[in-house]
Structure 1
Amino acid sequence: MTADAPVDGSAEKLRRLQTITDAALSRLGVEDLLAELLARTRELLGADSAAVMLVDPSGTELIATAASGLEREVHLGVRVPVGRGFSGTVAARGEPFAIEHVDHTNVVSPVLLAEHIESVLGVPMVVSGRVIGVLYVGTRSRRRFTSDDVELLQLVADRASLATQARMSRLDRAAALALQRSLLPARPQAVPGLDLAVRYVPGAEVGVGGDWYDVFDLPSGHVGIVIGDVAGNGLHAAVVMGRIRSALRAYAMETDDPADVLTRLDRKVQRFEPDAMATAVYAVFDPDLAAVTVSSAGHLPPIVSDPSSALARVLPDLPLGAYPDAPRHNTRLPLAPGTALFLYTDGLVERRDRALSDGLDQLVSAVRAAPADVMCAEAMAALLFDRAPTDDVAVLAVRRARAPAA
């Protein structure tokens, strides 16, 4: 190919590209979509290679995600710091950038040099004003890319960006939902003397997040129950939730003191999840079930029903991850036969169009001392009767069995 070679039939090629992206690729997954687009891009621009590098979650690196003619970049897991090298410069500037002669001074990826790529043209992949990656093409002969080349490549990048973001969001939500549900026990383990029931509904607007509940017996004969909510939504929140849930279980094996468990868990979050924050209520039932010890890390108070219902007088401490070495304390609650403890996440009571206190009052009115499954069903029906939840909702009802009649 000669230098300054124009793209022949640009209007026709744009029309063909639009047909491809709107129809033939509409049902492909992210990897197949990008692979097909890159193959078509090479053909349309007469290039020897094409590749997509996406920004990693930290926003500091580009990761080779798909390639046509430069597959080794993907196979080797090439990463380029944002702001360095060719593709890093495109991402940092957020505008097209071309190099006529590639050498070790202007590229970071060793694959470009090994494949004898002479000239490259890259454009940013942008969604809602945010750069999510870089699309670039390369030729083995020296070439000065034209404005038509830039326009065509940017069109491909714009369409690839929207399609990639939409598909990745769907995959993210599906993966988060699968992960979250795999970590939540479908049915809590049976505990002699306790009637247990749960509900979990993913949010309709924000998607899956970090809500969780758990029930487990301890070697000492105590029984632990927990409900919590990791701030944020999507796959990241679900992954953090999984790590927090597992850590809490491990710490619970070492002590029957809920405040001690949450203190250790907070240290773990502060150290290994520095950007995370979560609320939780952890309660430990005595072996004879006569009382329960409760500690709250910034979570909404449980409801005690015996048989009248009221918010438990459990003063919350700071959330997990909020402040280093935050003091934590326990509250002891008596648990007479027939008494129920109802735990929930904020998605059940919070709405944009009403005060939180109104939602709590409505929930207290809906909860009554009844079989645990009835408690869950009635609370969900009362609070979500007229709309789908906009945030994840998790509830956990525990009721001490009544003593058998003499």
Structure 2
Amino acid sequence: MDVNGKLTDTTVLVVDATAASRYAIGTVLRRAGHEVVAVTGGREALGELDVRRRKGHLPDVALIDVHLPDMSGFELCRRLKERPHMAGLPVVHFSALSVVPADRCPGLDSGAEAYLTVPAEPEDIEAAVRAAVRAARLRADDQALVRRLRLLSETIVTIQAARSLPELADAAADGAARLLGCPAAVFVLDQDDELYQGLYRERTSLALPGEDAHRTVRDLLRRLTRGQSDVQITTVPSPQWPAGFFRPGVQHDARLALVLTQDGRAPVCLAAPTRGLRRVSPEGEALLAQLAQATALAAEPLLMYQVERHVALTLQHSFLPRPHQLPELPGVDIAVRYEPASQETEIGGDFYAALRAGDEVLTAVGDVVGHSLDAATVMVELRHALRAYCLTESDPAALAERLDQVLQHYHADVTATVCLALIDPATGRTRIANAGHIPPLILGDDGSAEYVKASGPLLGVGLPHPPPTELVLAPTDRLLMVTDGLIETRGTDLAVSMEQLRAAAGGALPGLEALCDTLLASFGRHREDDVALLALSLAN
């Protein structure tokens, strides 16, 4: 475009069988600063356009004579408009023969933008070309904006469904790359200075930036968002922006969209290279800002959950003894395991306990229903209540009744499951009370594995608990107690999962530690729910 606002960077396809007319129109257009591609007929025009389409360089407008030797200009226009990749090419018909008003209607009906009668003044030809190109570019911009709005909506839906910060960052980076038509990266910096990075889908895992690059990004995000309230779009030159985030080992200036979460504590950054970045209109930058804001909004609950998860894990680890911290319990050997749920899921209220009850040993495995910090807190209360009650009461059914009363009195809307086993190491006599929990398995040295027939109502519902189930544990037997997080899988019936557990436990190597390790290896460590295991045998 020149200083007078006229389009001078356009390519014009002139389709005219008359050499003198082609020359005259071409001369007018070239003097106006346009590139001219001249052909003599409809088929030649279609061939030229196919070649240019494959090269990605279609002309900006086509001037087509109505009277061509191989097809009419109207027919050529219709064929162009029927081709998806050429439908947006603006067409201006011209004719020296069909000059009455009725002649123009078929041309406009075929999809043309304008109709000229020739000979025409050079200014009229230039004005018709400018108007057709301007209208086509406005339509293209509108279509691009609609496409970007659709991509923005799709990306927002995806990031709102993210279950973790890495998943969120990856989804936002992929959406930003599609919006901008170039590589993109997304960063979320949490309150503990942990940087979560997302790269667009086509970015290979080769030569990913190292810790120095991430440290640089952390510092930039903290500095650039200090005191910021709204979305900020800025450019960081390549000496300051580390290489490799967009393409392996390549340095780029970076265009950043920066925003803080609503609490002002966690910066979110969408980044793209300025080199290779398509022309971004103000509307396009507004969409990028919207995506940055949507990413920050979606990050907030994940950041809050992360803090809550950390507190809940700390709480659980504080009150669940480590295997090497278990109390000395004469006459029995015990192995325990605890595996928190995967990062994408909430912490539950699983627990285990191994306590001395006079000359006997009380073991327990339980699970507070729900997944939250509240569930972990109730778990701690139940475990402490059990420790206190077993000082004066050892009957497992009576203990289940008391724990039931604790929930009814202090947490009326909470339920829990628990399995309690009281073992006499001297005789092997074992009494088991089960409150809605998976019953324990008795594993024999012959490879047998059988569930104890013990059942009862959940804790917290106020129903009476049956007397404990009694059995005698042989010196070579192993008693296994687990929470349902070990085996429960979506879409699989619990009875099927319990049978799988029975088979895996029966086939485990001898020893309590080997048993626990086998089960965790068989059912996976990164499950959707917490996992607690307790295995016991009489000491030799």
- Find out whether 1:365 has 2:503 as its counterpart: yes
Q: Could you tell me which amino acid in structure 2 is paired with residue 210 of structure 1?
A: G
More displaced stretch, 305-314 vs 222-231: 305-314
Once residues 225 and 168 of structure 1 are traced to their aligned partners in structure 2, the CA distance between those partners, rounded to angstroms, is: 35
Indicate conservation of the 8 Å contact 2:431/2:471, yes or no. yes
CA contact (8 A) 2:441 2:452 kept: no
Alpha-carbon spacing, 1:390–1:25, altered in 2? closer, same or farther (3 Å) = closer
Q: Which of 312, 324, 345 lines up with 2:451 in the alignment?
A: 312
Match of 1:195 in 2: 333
Deviation at 1:254, TM superposition (A): 1.6
> 3-state SS of the aligned residue for 1:228?
strand
- Change in 2 beyond 3 A, CA 1:162/1:265: same
> Which segment is superposed worse, 358-367 or 341-350?
358-367
Contact 1:295–1:314, Cα closer than 8 Å, also in 2: no
Q: Secondary structure at the match of 1:165?
A: helix
Deviation at 1:388, TM superposition (A): 3.3
Unaligned runs of 5+ in 1: 1-22, 45-51, 54-64, 68-153
- In the alignment, which of 505, 510, 519 is matched to residue 379 of structure 1? 519
| 1:171 equivalenced with 2:171 (yes/no) | no
Aligned-pair identity (%): 34
1:286-315 per-residue CA deviation (whole Å, 9 max, x = no partner) reads 252521111001001100012243333333
Map Cα deviations across residues 321-346 of structure 1 (whole Å, 9 max, x no partner). Answer: 1x224333211110121111000011
Pick from 346, 358, 361 the counterpart of residue 207 of structure 1: 346
Any idea what the Cα deviations from partners look like across 1:383-405, whole Å, max 9, x if unmatched? 33xx7322111111001134xxx
**Do residues 266 (structure 1) and 404 (structure 2) align?**
yes
How far, CA to CA, are the matches of 1:301 and 1:352 in structure 2? 20
From 180, 189, 192, the counterpart of 1:27: 189
- Measured after TM superposition, the shift of residue 208 of structure 1 is 1.7
Letter in 2 for 1:230: V
Q: How many residues align?
A: 278
Deviation for aligned residue 1:319: 0.8
Rg bigger for which structure? 2
Conserved? CA contact 1:301–1:311, under 8 Å: no
TM-score between both structures, scaled by the size of structure 2: 0.46
Given candidates 386, 393, 396, the residue that maps to 1:248 is 386
| Residue 217 of structure 2 corresponds to residue 217 of structure 1 | no
Give the distance between the partners of 2:387 and 2:453, measured in 1 at CA.
Answer: 22
Alpha-carbon spacing, 1:338–1:270, altered in 2? closer, same or farther (3 Å) = same
Correspondence for 1:276: 414
What's the counterpart of residue 302 of structure 1?
A: 440
Note the residue ranges of structure 2 that are not aligned, 5 or more in a row: 1-184, 193-220, 233-260, 266-289
Query: Aligned AA for 1:378?
Result: T
Residue number in structure 2 paired with 1:131? none
Listed one character per residue, the Cα deviations across residues 74-106 of structure 1 (whole Å, up to 9, x for unaligned) are: xxxxxxxxxxxxxxxxxxxxxxxxxxxxxxxxx
| Mapped partners of 1:277, 1:304: distance in 2 | 27
Q: CA deviation at 1:317?
A: 0.7
Partners of 2:409 and 2:264 lie apart in 1 by: 34
Could you say which residue in structure 2 is the equivalent of 1:132?
A: none
Which of 1 and 2 has higher RCO (CA within 8 Å, sep 6+)?
1
**8 Å Cα contact 1:263-1:328 kept in structure 2:** no
Matches within 5 A, 1:7-406: 26-29=188-191, 40-41=228-229, 161-187=297-323, 188-204=326-342, 205-218=344-357, 220-286=358-424, 288-308=426-446, 309-321=448-460, 323-368=461-506, 370-384=510-524, 388-402=526-540
CA contact (8 A) 1:317 1:329 kept: no
Closer, same or farther: CA 38–349 of 1 in aligned 2, 3 Å: same
